[in-house]
Amino acid sequence: MARTRSISSIDTEIAKLQAELTKAQEKCDSIAARILELQNQKQLAEAKQVMDAFKRSGKSMQELMNFLDV
């Protein structure tokens, strides 16, 4: 027959698990923020590459827009 656990031991384990969950959520939030930061950096680098290529091309803005079909 299984031994009955006391309410205080259950409460202690609940508190421990809640603390672990909070720590894991904070880590997840931190990682998500870093991903967003890196995605923004990538987007800026790509935009710079496109702008540099446009400047080197000698094409007008209208020619670029026509090429992009916008």
**pTM given for the model:** 0.70
Tokens of 24: 């894991």
Residue 1 has pLDDT above 70, yes or no: no
The 10s digit of each residue's pLDDT in 4-62 is 889 999 999 999 999 999 999 999 999 999 999 999 999 999 999 999 999 999 999 99
Per-residue H/E/C for 4-69: CCCHHHHHHHHHHHHHHHHHHHHHHHHHHHHHHHHHHHHHHHHHHHHHHHHHHHCCCHHHHHHHHC
Q: Return the domain boundaries, the chain.
A: 13-68
CA distance 51 to 35: 24
CA distance 31 to 39: 12
